Amino acid sequence: MTIRVLLADDQALLRATFRILIDSCDDMEVVGEATDGAEAVELARLHRPDVVLMDIRMPGTDGLAATSAVCADPALSGTRVLILTTFEMDEYVARALRSGASGFLGKDVTADALLAGIRTVACGESLLSPLATRSLITRFLASPAEGARLAAPDDLTALTAREREVMAWVAEGCSNEEIAEKLFVSPLTVRTHVHRAMTKLGARDRAQLVVVAYRSGLVQAPAPPTGDH
């Protein structure tokens, strides 16, 4: 299957570089280029890409608003947004993930890491390192979106004990392979549990599953620093 990618960045040189790199892969193709968020949403609805490579800082409608619009559109339920950011712990990243983005990459990412990231997000996984997961979830809990529904413990009653266990490891930032080693099962079995949990909880992808795990109390957020160093 060919992964169809939409590029959204106001820097023409960067878009051209990404296009050359992505189009050089047999399993990917660039289906469109947007110079701002509004155009990104328009082209996403036109082309229905598998992945939108979205810059956050763009003139006019920025990447945050565009991400929210893409992820809220039922017609684009199969489209994943991969955020590009200058700094890995950019304050906007948490807001982008809250809006439905599946992960993020720094703009200094290597070519191989960029391509691997696109493939990861395209198959429904989230692109969050353990460190980033913990830091971002802390932000989620400290400043939930206005009107956002926080998951209640009862929301997890539909899950089996093993699904809750797997979900907890996912929230700790573990990969399917790492979870499989801990539980002495195959990565495919872990993947099945993850997808069943996502389906039961209405999570768009792995990143949202992590948020639900913390907000429901299944996993405790890391304690904030005391200020004594």
How many domains does the chain divide into? 2
Max Cα–Cα distance, the chain, nearest Å: 53
Residue 36 — pLDDT band, cuts 50, 70, 90? very high
Residue 146 — pLDDT band, cuts 50, 70, 90? very low
Which of 15, 43, 122 is closest to 79 using CA atoms?
122
Check whether residue 8 and residue 116 sit in a common domain: yes
Domain that holds residue 167: 141-215
Which of 54, 111, 109 is closest to 82 using CA atoms?
54
Q: Which residues pair with 38 in a beta bridge?
A: none
* Inter-axis angle of helices 12-23 and 111-122, nearest 10: 70
Instruction: Note the pLDDT of residue 129.
Output: 53
Residue 171 pLDDT exceeds 70: yes
Check whether residue 65 and residue 167 sit in a common domain: no
Instruction: Note the pLDDT of residue 183.
Output: 94
Q: In this prediction, what percent of the chain has a pLDDT beyond 70?
A: 80
Check whether residue 74 and residue 153 sit in a common domain: no
Distance CA 172, CA 188 (A): 19
Residues 6+ apart with CB under 8 A from 32: 6, 7, 43, 46, 47, 49
- Secondary structure E strands in 64-185: 80-85, 103-106
- Mean pLDDT of the residues in the chain: 82
Domain termination residue (choose one: 95, 127, 159) = 127
Give a yes or no: residue 92 inside a domain.
yes
Residue 143 — pLDDT band, cuts 50, 70, 90? low
Q: Which residues pair with 105 in a beta bridge?
A: 84
